[in-house]
Amino acid sequence: MVRKQKFADKKKNNVQKDKINKENTIRDKKKNKKWKKEKNNHSSLDKKTKETKRKQIEKKYNNNYIDKKEKESSFLKNQAPNEFTNKKQKTKRDNDIKFKQNNKYKPKTSDKHKLKTSDKHKPKTSDKYKPKTSDKYRLKKNDKFKFKKNDKDQEIINQKCKDIMKNENLSNSKKKKLIKECRKKSVVENYDLYKELKINLNDMLQTKNKLEKEKKINDMYAQLKKIKLINFSRTNLGFHILSALFINGNEEMQKKIWKQFHEHLTDICAFNFVSILIQSFYKHSKGFKIKNDIYLWLLNNTKSFLSKFAAKLWNVVFKNCQTQKRRKMINYLLIPNINILKNVPVENLKKKTNDMVNTFNEENKLVISKYLIKIIENIVEKELLYNIVSHQILLDACELLKEEELINIMDIIHEGCEHLISTNLGNKALILLLGYSTNKHKKILIKTLKNDIIELCKNSVNFLLIIRLLKITDDTTVLNQYIVRKIANNFETVFNDYYGFYVILEFFYDINQYKENKYFHVEWKNIIYAKPVKSIKDGEKRKTEIIQPIVDQLQILFQNKDKLNEYLKGGIKYMHLIFEFLQYTKNENIINNLLFVVEQYIHEVEQEAKEGETKKEKEIEEKVQEREEIEEKVQEEKKTEEKMQEEEETEEKVQEEEETEEKVQEEEETEEKMQEEEETEEKVQEEEETEEKVQEEE
């Protein structure tokens, strides 16, 4: 409804302004006519009389002009208050009125430059060309961009314009027309190129074949050589095209694009689209060099962190860096640009901030602490509390600064401290700084978070913040109204959650009961149970004023025997909570339910023990049977082995006997052969002897 009223009021104002402008134009025309008539009548007079008459006319005109503007200002002031809700509109209107009063109308006397009434109220024509949007390719509001030209194109256009102006045959009107047409042609050419790039981008993104995609990327890059990429990247269309080429291109393509942006990284601080584009370069770069170049540029230009657009790049780089690089980034930010602290060794910059600061003298420590407070003030002024780098700076400030300085920092931050919840580092810093906050700061924070308390109880990071608020805030009415009541209304959802259970468990412990809380994690305890400087109320009193609605919800929940049995079987943490809960209840039903559940639990344990004994006996019998079976199998195997050995021995003996018989037979055969040979030899000798005898006898 408020928007509709504002819109209607704006329409009324615009209609009334149009009426006033029309009346002013009619008056101006009449005055110009009168002035011309008077001038023509006095043309025959002397110079002195002319000057006096001209001054009189100017005075009349200026007085009427001032009266007219005063009426407009009085009309605007007397309008409804809804029209002046925006402060920027007030300042613009007042400045326009002052400017017009100071720059009064002074008509020239020369005949050559007489002002026409029709030309006076025409809008000034700009040289920039605004093309008509076709039905197919209508530009959206976000796709609007300023058509900018290269330096070479501008030089060519300027030369053409000079040639036209030097031509004496042309009149002044023709010269103006030709110059306008020359400038329009160049703008139309750029518009056609942007149109082609937009079509080619859609085609490239739709193609799935890698080779075709690479060809289209190369073609688009060749088209972009006609334009300055640095100026083109400042537009919405340039951002979309260059980011698409960088993401879908190869390493070579990424290097080509990066060469043109490497020397012009200072544009990050001034232009939003350039900073978003370089963020995409850092995220999607396939090589290590581009990331390293961006990282080193940030270290050498630490003042860029306090700019609106470059801070987003710091955020992206810090999230995607390793721990050593993160420490180095923050140490560069915290060291001021002073001659004393210029020659810091590189090894100290890689350390933690607390360890690095301890290496300096006391004077240098004071300088760093003052500079750190100035940085935090600048962060709040530039609205950079959403940034993870500022979260790390605040967490380091909790370690470096003293109590008085931390109280001052909390006064600076308290208006936007809810932005610290977005990260783990910021949540830790906020938990520690809440100890130095006043009751007003805590109330403001609780009221800002009142609609998201149940989600924060379930979150793995933010549940610690709610526990810290329950242990520190002195105004228990605010706690009961905004935190405890909402937890009680959604009790089971919080109690059944892993992190929500710890929120309910911490209701039973004060801030002074650090040692008694034995189940909670040590790191969490050190953060939550840190000493609050500004809290005055006693911890036990605070606990008694808060805990009663939680106890009532636990009574309702534990009256159901089945749920109580489930929680007892859930683990030690539920047993621990039930033990603390019994100190605050005298309800007989719950105690009887607990006793019944405990009896069932004991009975189940006894049955399990009996079943365990029977199982053990059965297992023993089975093991004995298995052993007997194994022994029988072993004996059978031994017998089979003996039989096999005997058979093998008999076979060996038989083989040996056969071999001996064969050897004996072979020996007998050899002997027989030897005897036969000897007999044959004897016979041969006898025959020879007989032959010899016969020969002798003959």
Sequence-distant (6+) residues with CB within 8 A of 442 are: 434, 469, 472, 473, 475, 478
Of the chain, the percentage scoring pLDDT greater than 70 comes to 77
Q: 138-147, 220-229, 281-290, 308-317: lowest mean pLDDT where?
A: 138-147
How confident is the model over 489-531, as pLDDT tens digits? 999 999 999 999 999 998 988 888 877 776 777 888 888 888 8
Residue 316: pLDDT band by 50, 70, 90 thresholds? very high
- Rounded-to-integer distance, Cα 436 and Cα 532, Å: 6
Mean pLDDT of 331-349: 80
* H helix or E strand, kind and range, residue 88: helix 87-102
Mean pLDDT of 634-660: 85
Sequence-distant (6+) residues with CB within 8 A of 146 are: 128, 235
Q: Is 71's pLDDT higher than 50?
A: no
How confident is the model over 213-254, as pLDDT tens digits? 889 999 999 888 888 888 888 888 889 999 999 999 899 999
Which two structure tokens, joined as six digits, stand for 410? Answer: 């909390």
How confident is the model over 161-180, as pLDDT tens digits? 878 887 777 777 778 778 87
Mean pLDDT of 181-201: 72
Residue 276: pLDDT band by 50, 70, 90 thresholds? very high
> Cβ of 262: how many Cβ atoms within 10 Å?
13
3-state SS string for 114-156 = CCCHHHHCCCCCCCCCCCCCCCCCCCCCCCCCCCCCCHHHHHH
The amino acid at 161: C
Q: Is 145's pLDDT higher than 50?
A: no
- Rounded-to-integer distance, Cα 317 and Cα 326, Å: 9
* Residue 327 contacts residue 351 (beta carbons within 8 Å): yes
pLDDT number for residue 91: 57
Mean pLDDT estimate for the chain: 78
Query: Which candidate, 493, 510, 424, places its Cα nearest to that of 462?
Result: 424
* Residue 357 contacts residue 400 (beta carbons within 8 Å): yes
pLDDT number for residue 76: 41
Residue 429: pLDDT band by 50, 70, 90 thresholds? very high
How confident is the model over 432-452, as pLDDT tens digits? 999 999 889 999 999 999 899
pLDDT number for residue 350: 83
Mean pLDDT of 388-414: 92
Describe the crossing of helices 323-334 and 362-381 by its angle, rounded to 10 degrees. 100
pLDDT number for residue 92: 52
**Three-class SS of residue 78?**
coil
* Residue 281 contacts residue 246 (beta carbons within 8 Å): yes
* Residue 197 contacts residue 237 (beta carbons within 8 Å): yes
pLDDT number for residue 132: 40
Query: Which candidate, 392, 247, 187, places its Cα nearest to that of 305?
Result: 392
pLDDT number for residue 70: 47
pLDDT number for residue 674: 87
Q: Is 386's pLDDT higher than 50?
A: yes
Mean pLDDT of 546-553: 91
Residue with tokens 């006064």: 411
Residue 658: pLDDT band by 50, 70, 90 thresholds? confident
Query: Which candidate, 311, 228, 325, places its Cα nearest to that of 275?
Result: 311
pLDDT number for residue 278: 93
Q: Is 19's pLDDT higher than 50?
A: yes
Q: Is 648's pLDDT higher than 90?
A: no
Residue 27: pLDDT band by 50, 70, 90 thresholds? low
Which two structure tokens, joined as six digits, stand for 265? Answer: 């990284």
Eight-state DSSP code of residue 321:
S
pLDDT number for residue 372: 92
Which two structure tokens, joined as six digits, stand for 443? Answer: 């109330």
Residue 114: pLDDT band by 50, 70, 90 thresholds? very low
Residue 123: pLDDT band by 50, 70, 90 thresholds? very low
Q: Is 292's pLDDT higher than 50?
A: yes
Residue 290: pLDDT band by 50, 70, 90 thresholds? very high
Sequence-distant (6+) residues with CB within 8 A of 403 are: 436, 533
* Residue 261 contacts residue 229 (beta carbons within 8 Å): yes
